[in-house]
Structure 1
Amino acid sequence: MSGLKNRLEKSKKIVFLTGAGISQESGIATFRGKDGLWQRYDPMKFASIQAFIDNPKLVWNWYNDRRREMLVANPNLGHIAIANLQNYRHVSVVTQNIDGLHQRAGSRDVVELHGNIFDTKCTKCDFKSTMKSEFFDLQICKSCGSYLRPDVVWFGEGLKQEIWNEAVIHSMNCDMMIVVGTSLTVSPANSLLLYAKRNHATLVELNPANSPYSDEMDFCIRKTATEGLPTLFSIFGTI
């Protein structure tokens, strides 16, 4: 751990690549894994454009359940530690999560690879909006009258190119990447490690379990985000 703290002290730009594990500690169900939502729900019936075309109300209401779950969740000590590190280093967050907890914790530079569950976009035109009410009825586009859908990446869809480019640029220019709460099984997010490695960045994995990329890491911390991050960053004082 002392070697990691020495490199952390020398680092200038740190990128966090975060996944469902950090949000799970705030009470938000994961999508994958043994107890994930996709073990109980068919993703092609709830998270694909065809599912929405076939039954928009069913899909919308299913996402409403997820939104209500996320509204009552609060950022945890892991989210807060990342946000507070901004006081000491240039910090960017690239997240696979769609809950907005990093922003609520105070992180300013957040790239949401898979979108945000509270954002919507039209299924036909370029109209976009953000929901502000706790009561999320199925919405109609104000511009063309088509249905609005959650502005998240569904199965069969690619990432938005501008979002992906931003994530790649952060990864190419960091001198430390800390992977938190993700099994690194989702592509192309896991390839961001390669961009960081090309810049000779220090790679850190903070996750209770091994990932397919654990052997590529310079340091592995087998703790959860709430356990590991505040302790790791204690070298900067209480954060």
Structure 2
Amino acid sequence: MENIVILSGAGISAESGLKTFRDSNGLWEGHDVMEVASPDGWHKNRALVLDFYNQRRRQLKTVKPNAAHQALVDLEKQFDVHIITQNVDDLHERAGSSKVLHLHGELLKARSTTDENLVIDWHEDICEGDLCAKGSQLRPHIVWFGELVPLLEPAIELTAKADYIIIVGTSMQVYPAASLINYAKPEALIYFIDPKPNIASQKNLKVIAEKASAGVPIVVEELLSK
């Protein structure tokens, strides 16, 4: 069975009505990114950080997977499919994808502030005073700026094995996620789905100038007909 890796980013979830964190002016919901997505911001104003992610978590409950998320599930009928996503939502899982790796963490999980490996499912607000089993404050299970990306190595290994790579909802400008494409096999066929692509089709690279909900079904139909 051939391998497919999907590299997904905020664009695929935006079509479900989920706000992307970063606005065009570089602010995250009106906040400087370092205020709400860095260890320093956490230490300076824990209440602000918790509120920021509590709002994101509440919003996530109001949206549903879209046609792009749903189409990707069909690939599992014929291929070994792994989704490597920069997104912290659970829309891929809700659509039915069975193998999803979250590079930047997950909104619906919390983790200990003293043991990064102590991670639990958490679907409600995280409040000051909510403690892990070891007695320390819980924090969002999000990889913040300045922190290591613990699942990067597994993501590299998956990308290196892929026969096909589908890039959707991301301009591949955010590192280290953007570096993954460097590990692709020379013969891997890459699909790049973007409504305003900054590259053109070339050998082993097929550009689909569509938004995710329109472009993903096109690619899926093509792959399933091979």
Is structure 2 residue 100 aligned with structure 1 residue 110? Answer: yes
Give the whole-Å Cα distance in 2 for the aligned partners of 1:104 and 1:37: 29
Is structure 2 residue 16 aligned with structure 1 residue 26? Answer: yes
Give the whole-Å Cα distance in 2 for the aligned partners of 1:213 and 1:190: 18
Per-residue CA deviations over 1:80-135 (Å, capped at 9, x if unaligned) read 001121112111100000001111111111110001011111111343211134x4
Give the whole-Å Cα distance in 2 for the aligned partners of 1:53 and 1:136: 16
Give the whole-Å Cα distance in 1 for the aligned partners of 2:58 and 2:155: 28
Specify every segment of 5 or more residues in structure 2 that has no aligned partner in the other structure, as ranges.
none
Specify every segment of 5 or more residues in structure 1 that has no aligned partner in the other structure, as ranges.
1-10
- Structure 1 residues 166 and 229, CA gap change in structure 2 (3 angstroms): same
Partner of 1:177: 165
Is structure 2 residue 134 aligned with structure 1 residue 165? Answer: no
Kindly state the Cα deviation for residue 77 of structure 1 after the two structures are TM-superposed.
Answer: 0.5
In the alignment, is the contact (CA less than 8 A) between 2:6 and 2:165 conserved in 1? yes
Is structure 2 residue 178 aligned with structure 1 residue 190? Answer: yes
With structure 2 as the length reference, what TM-score do the two structures score? 0.90
- Structure 1 residues 139 and 12, CA gap change in structure 2 (3 angstroms): farther
SS of the residue corresponding to residue 28 of structure 2 reads helix
With structure 1 as the length reference, what TM-score do the two structures score? 0.85
- Structure 1 residues 213 and 230, CA gap change in structure 2 (3 angstroms): closer
- Structure 1 residues 123 and 215, CA gap change in structure 2 (3 angstroms): farther
Whichever structure has more helix as a proportion of its residues is 1
Partner of 1:43: 33
- Structure 1 residues 95 and 231, CA gap change in structure 2 (3 angstroms): same
In the alignment, is the contact (CA less than 8 A) between 1:185 and 1:212 conserved in 2? no
Per-residue CA deviations over 1:122-178 (Å, capped at 9, x if unaligned) read 111343211134x44335324332211111111111201xx1121111111011101
Give the whole-Å Cα distance in 2 for the aligned partners of 1:123 and 1:228: 40
Is structure 2 residue 224 aligned with structure 1 residue 233? Answer: no
Partner of 1:100: 90
Partner of 1:128: 119
Match of 2:195 among 208, 222, 225: 208
In the alignment, is the contact (CA less than 8 A) between 1:15 and 1:171 conserved in 2? yes
Give the whole-Å Cα distance in 2 for the aligned partners of 1:39 and 1:68: 14
The residue correspondences of 1:30-109 to structure 2 (distance < 5 A) are: 30-32=20-22, 34=24, 37-38=27-28, 40-109=30-99
Percent of aligned pairs with the same amino acid: 36
Give the whole-Å Cα distance in 2 for the aligned partners of 1:93 and 1:179: 10
| One-letter amino acid of the structure 1 residue matched with residue 218 of structure 2 | T
Partner of 1:4: none
What is the total number of aligned residue pairs between the two structures?
A: 223
| One-letter amino acid of the structure 1 residue matched with residue 147 of structure 2 | E
- Structure 1 residues 32 and 62, CA gap change in structure 2 (3 angstroms): closer
Greater CA drift, 86-95 or 215-224: 215-224
- Structure 1 residues 48 and 222, CA gap change in structure 2 (3 angstroms): same
RMSD, matched Cα: 2.3
| One-letter amino acid of the structure 2 residue matched with residue 168 of structure 1 | I
Kindly state the Cα deviation for residue 213 of structure 1 after the two structures are TM-superposed.
Answer: 9.2
Give the whole-Å Cα distance in 1 for the aligned partners of 2:142 and 2:200: 26
In the alignment, is the contact (CA less than 8 A) between 1:184 and 1:213 conserved in 2? no
SS of the residue corresponding to residue 99 of structure 1 reads coil
Give the whole-Å Cα distance in 1 for the aligned partners of 2:204 and 2:22: 23
Give the whole-Å Cα distance in 1 for the aligned partners of 2:170 and 2:203: 15
Kindly state the Cα deviation for residue 57 of structure 1 after the two structures are TM-superposed.
Answer: 1.4
